[in-house]
Structure 1
Amino acid sequence: MIVHTGKPEAVAFGKELVELFRQRGNALLTDTSTAEVLGCPHLGQAGYMAAVDVVLVLGGDGTLLSAARLASSFGKPVLGINMGHLGFLSELDADSFEPALERVLAGDFTVEERMMIEGRVLRSGAEIACFRALNDVVVTRGTFARIINVTTFIDNHHVVDYKADGIIVATPTGSTAYSLSAGGPIVEPLLECLCITPICPHTLASRSVVARPEAHVRLVLNSPGEEVMLTIDGQEGIPLESKDVVELVRAQVTAKFVKVSGRGFFDILNSRLREQRF
């Protein structure tokens, strides 16, 4: 179990789950930070991931994103319990969790697999960073920088030079996040593709491009003297320099999500569109 320890309601519910699992005689392991707050056993990050069957995540979609990236390396499915508004990734809320738990423990659930992106940053031909993302990879200007110039290639074919505040490469899962606010398309999450969308482009002719999942996307930064950052799922950052190259492909692993509620993507989308809440 992974708990957003900065949310009191998540910590309180986590303590309830520790007691519930103790009463049932089911093993419950946590990451180190959760164990420190809840006072329950842990095996270290790699140890508990290798040992568990399902990863319970208490928090919001942000907590679930980081947990899903970690769990993907071990092939483990995650089950999100949201401590607030249900998001696009979280499957349950606290009120609906207990009956769902019975189904999970009985093996009565399905696993939905989501495409991920993996990439690397090259500087003067040498790899300086590698990463994996579930939602998106974003190249964006700093607070005081001017627009940046990003030359975009797909399978070594020059597509466009984006002059913009930045550029987003999103998975279908990430299409309803930052990409959507930048004018990108809404993509059903089980469809595999790469969505490339400029942020506040300098020209009206700059538009989103949707590439097949096998495509190799290459972004070349041509903005000397500008402050530029690459972010992964909005949670990890890598400073970029002019002439740096960002290479992106479909990841060899997928993010796996436990499904028990029958609540589908289009149900959530319809609710969000009616509420005008994204």
Structure 2
Amino acid sequence: MKTIGIVCRAAEADRARIPMVTRLIEEAGGRVVGEEDLKTSDVVLVLGGDGTILRAAEGVRGTEIPVIGVNFGHVGFLAEADPESLSDVVSRLVAGEYTVETRTTLAVTVTQPDGSTEEGWALNELALDKVERARMVDLTIGVDEHPISSYSCDALVVSTPTGSTAYAFSAGGPVVWPDVEALLIVPIAAHALFARPLVVAPDSIITVVMNETGFVDGELWCDGRRSLAAPVGSHIEIRRSAEPVHLARLWTSPFSGRLVAKFKLPVRSWKHPDKS
């Protein structure tokens, strides 16, 4: 018997779907556990958008339990299915008819000026933001213990390929296919001649120094859900985490199809070459 964990958005209308989904799972021969017991499940079913999927990924952190989303949100780039497929999704999950995809995550350590440290992780991105809205953070960026550039900016995003379609994309970063092993560095509104997005090796160590010459403290957000203080003088080290996130997949559609569908990209006049 497959045990299915359920996570949904907090809105009352969304939580009202839980009894119906529970019934579908039990009728298919499965067992249901709630969000407080996700680590006892075989797979986690998310009813919501990408934010809810990120919350579910946090709930199974440190395990190999896969997460699958049915998009009741907006874009839902991480979601595998739309609401009209819910019954089919449930029956296939209970039958174990899914594959598992591994997604890179980020690990970060912030060493503050007094020597104290804080650690965090992210599936999509780490976003270093300024505490004071009217000013900029002053940074020096390094890769693999070599300095790259210094600049003041509104924010800095370090992203995984999974997160390349999220905040990093909005900031002008490239879309990176999820099976490409790489990390992205995307500055936002930087005052510098060389402040373009960078794509670095997956095993690179990214260093961000909150320069002593700066006047604004920073705040590091992990997937927009958890924050770490990064005052002036802090030293931030980011690398690929040893604990990836696992996503359950039901279909083998290519990433390009998902990209076109979610962003409603124009593909007029496209003709596949004749293979005959």
Class of the TM-score when normalised by the shorter of the 2 chains: 0.7 to 0.9
Which residue identity does 1:185 align to in structure 2? Answer: P
| Structure 2: distance between partners of 1:234 and 1:166 | 13
| TM-score of the superposed pair, with normalisation by structure 2 | 0.87
Deviation at 1:241, TM superposition (A): 0.8
Residues 109-128 of structure 1: matches in 2 within 5 Å?
109-124=98-113, 126-128=115-117
Q: 1:88 to 1:264 in 2, by over 3 A?
A: farther
Partner in structure 2 of residue 3 of structure 1: 8
Q: 1:20 to 1:30 in 2, by over 3 A?
A: same
| Structure 2: distance between partners of 1:123 and 1:151 | 15
Q: How many aligned residue pairs are there?
A: 260
| Structure 1: distance between partners of 2:208 and 2:21 | 45
| TM-score of the superposed pair, with normalisation by structure 1 | 0.87
Partner in structure 1 of residue 242 of structure 2: 252
| Counterpart check, 1:21 vs 2:25 | yes
The DSSP-based 3-state class of the residue aligned with 1:126 is coil
| Structure 1: distance between partners of 2:229 and 2:201 | 28
The DSSP-based 3-state class of the residue aligned with 2:32 is coil
Identical residues among aligned pairs (%): 32
Deviates more, 1:116-125 or 1:193-202: 116-125
Partner in structure 1 of residue 167 of structure 2: 178
Conservation of the 8 A alpha-carbon contact between 1:120 and 1:127: no
Residues 145-164 of structure 1: matches in 2 within 5 Å?
145-164=134-153
Partner in structure 2 of residue 231 of structure 1: 221
Which residue identity does 2:123 align to in structure 1? Answer: L
| Structure 2: distance between partners of 1:85 and 1:167 | 25
Deviates more, 1:205-214 or 1:100-109: 100-109
| Structure 2: distance between partners of 1:156 and 1:125 | 22
Deviation at 1:125, TM superposition (A): 6.6
Deviation at 1:124, TM superposition (A): 3.2
Deviates more, 1:155-164 or 1:255-264: 255-264
| Structure 1: distance between partners of 2:228 and 2:28 | 44
Which residue identity does 1:155 align to in structure 2? Answer: D
| Structure 2: distance between partners of 1:25 and 1:111 | 21
Residues 97-116 of structure 1: matches in 2 within 5 Å?
97-116=86-105
Q: 1:18 to 1:102 in 2, by over 3 A?
A: closer
Which residue identity does 2:254 align to in structure 1? Answer: G
Which residue identity does 2:169 align to in structure 1? Answer: L
Deviation at 1:204, TM superposition (A): 4.1
Which residue identity does 2:242 align to in structure 1? Answer: Q
Conservation of the 8 A alpha-carbon contact between 2:140 and 2:151: yes
CA shift digits 1:139-174 (9 cap, x unpaired): 111343412211111111011113211111000011
Deviation at 1:205, TM superposition (A): 2.7
The DSSP-based 3-state class of the residue aligned with 1:68 is helix
Whose helix proportion is higher, 1 or 2?
A: 1
| Structure 1: distance between partners of 2:192 and 2:77 | 32
Conservation of the 8 A alpha-carbon contact between 2:138 and 2:214: no
Partner in structure 2 of residue 42 of structure 1: none
| Counterpart check, 1:242 vs 2:232 | yes
Aligned partner (choices 32, 38, 52) of residue 49 of structure 1: 38
Conservation of the 8 A alpha-carbon contact between 1:120 and 1:128: yes
Unaligned residue ranges in structure 2 (runs of 5+): 1-5, 267-276
| Structure 1: distance between partners of 2:159 and 2:53 | 17
| Structure 1: distance between partners of 2:150 and 2:264 | 36
Deviates more, 1:266-275 or 1:75-84: 266-275
Deviation at 1:61, TM superposition (A): 0.4
Deviation at 1:91, TM superposition (A): 0.7
Partner in structure 2 of residue 37 of structure 1: none
| Structure 2: distance between partners of 1:90 and 1:188 | 16
